[in-house]
Amino acid sequence: MTDLIVSPCNANEMEEVVRLLDQEFIYSRSRDISLARRFPNVFEHGGGSIVFVARSAGTIAGTIAVRRFTWHCQDREWQGAMIGSVFTKPQMRHQGIAARIMGEVKSYLSAERVDFGVLWTTIPELYAKSGWIPADTAVFGTAQGRPSHKSAGSIVNRRPLADVDTDALDRFRRQSCLDYVMRRKVDYQAIPLPASRVDVLLLEHDGGLQGYCLTGVAGSTAYVYEIVGDQQGFHLLWKSLVNDFDAIYINAHPSTQAHGWLSAAAAVSWCAQKLAMWLPVSKEAAEVDFNRWYVPYFDRM
Ligand SMILES: CC(C)(COP(=O)(O)OP(=O)(O)OC[C@H]1O[C@@H](n2cnc3c(N)ncnc32)[C@H](O)[C@@H]1OP(=O)(O)O)[C@@H](O)C(=O)NCCC(=O)NCCS
């Protein structure tokens, strides 16, 4: 397509972009809650992300969202960029539009001195041609709950994430984890698909936080994003999940304490994920074994 112009979305195009993306990723897939509400860190003005738009003959033909983030490792910090909302209007597909926007995004990442890009996809063919490498050792767990109306008599307190002091929660997370994505306040407003809200199970003792479990909720299903803290308390967090939900899905990585504990002590069946692809941009990132890195589901878009 020769008349294609690709550049960052301007403020008065955002409404149309969100409408197109909601139609594709939300409403046509029997989901709800607009992407604008799910990911204010991507689609709200000041959220810190860029949505690239391809226009042809004055209309929007395709989009790609880029969310910059800092990946904190024990030895250094890396500048990363997540790619999402990769979309071409149905009537304009198979003309190289997505490939063209990917090319622009790649140039942007180099110009901005980003170290690496990461995305999650079920169609690796689309990205492999632009140099993206598949590497994913994450696992997805499935477990059954036994909802009970009886009080578990637990010291675990489940609250909507929106009602919690996320600064304190984040301090606890950064003290507990070795490698992590840096989160801003707005990042804690995310509602990952397909959840309709995010809750946090807090395990407190003598007024201090011992551990927490961040989970998306959709009806009687829990989507666990992370279990963090003192391993001694994991059984209480798990008991609370099992008592509250019919089905529990867990996003995890074998390197985490939570995965080790769940594998040993809970009835969870695990399967490999194989969704992540990475683009090394800086010279240093070319040396990284991306199989060792894991971006938690809560941080993705
Ligand atoms: C996926 C999508 C963005 C592709 O857009 P597009 O503009 O048609 O893609 P391109 O024409 O640039 O395709 C480039 C290459 O990617 C590969 N590709 C594209 N769509 C593909 C698909 N659905 N399955 C497998 N490979 C695909 C092909 O190898 C293609 O090269 P070819 O045309 O030489 O065969 C578009 O189909 C779409 O919006 N789908 C719905 C939303 C979605 O699934 N987004 C991806 C989320 S990860």
Angle at CA 138, nearest 5°, toward 137 and 141?
135
pLDDT at 150: 62
Contacts 24+ apart (CB under 8 A), 202-210: 202/156, 202/157, 202/158, 202/159, 202/164, 203/155, 203/156, 203/229, 203/233, 203/236, 203/237, 204/155, 204/157, 205/155, 205/233, 209/168, 209/169, 209/172
126 lines ligand 1 (CB under 6 A): yes
Based on the number of CB atoms within 10 Å of its own CB, is 263 exposed (0-12), middle (13-18) or buried (19 or more)? Answer: middle
- Give the list of residues 6+ apart from residue 172 with CB closer than 8 angstroms, or none: 209, 212, 228, 229
98 lines ligand 1 (CB under 6 A): yes
pLDDT at 207: 85
DSSP letter at 256 equals: S
pLDDT in tens, 245-289: 999 999 999 999 999 999 999 999 999 999 999 999 999 999 999
Q: Could you give all domains of the chain from N- to C-terminal order, each with its CATH number? A: 5-136+274-299 (3.40.630.30), 139-272 (3.40.630.30)
Angstrom distance (rounded) from CA 19 to CA 35: 9
Gap from CA of 86 to ligand 1 centroid (Å): 9
pLDDT at 46: 79
Based on the number of CB atoms within 10 Å of its own CB, is 37 exposed (0-12), middle (13-18) or buried (19 or more)? Answer: middle
Helix spans in 11-76 (H): 14-25, 35-38, 40-43
Angstrom distance (rounded) from CA 164 to CA 160: 7
By the 8 A CB rule, do 75 and 82 touch? no
Residue located nearest, by CA, to atom 15 of ligand 1: 126
pLDDT at 148: 76
pLDDT at 68: 97
Residue located nearest, by CA, to atom 19 of ligand 1: 126
pLDDT tens-place values along the chain, 301 residues long: 679 999 999 989 999 999 999 999 999 999 999 999 999 999 998 778 999 999 999 899 999 999 999 999 998 999 999 999 999 999 999 999 999 999 999 999 999 999 999 999 999 999 999 999 999 999 999 999 987 766 556 789 999 999 999 999 999 999 999 999 999 999 999 999 999 999 999 999 888 999 999 999 999 999 999 999 999 999 999 999 999 999 999 999 999 999 999 999 999 999 999 999 999 999 999 999 999 999 999 999 9
Q: Give the Cβ contact number of residue 46 at 10 Å.
A: 8
User: SS3 for 75?
Assistant: coil
Mutation to probe ligand 1, out of 88, 95, 119, 193 (largest number of atoms < 8 A from CB): 88
271 lines ligand 1 (CB under 6 A): no
Q: Which amino acid is at 32?
A: D
pLDDT at 153: 60
User: SS3 for 143?
Assistant: strand
124 lines ligand 1 (CB under 6 A): no
Mutation to probe ligand 1, out of 26, 123, 274 (largest number of atoms < 8 A from CB): 123
Q: How far is CA 77 from the centre of its chain?
A: 19
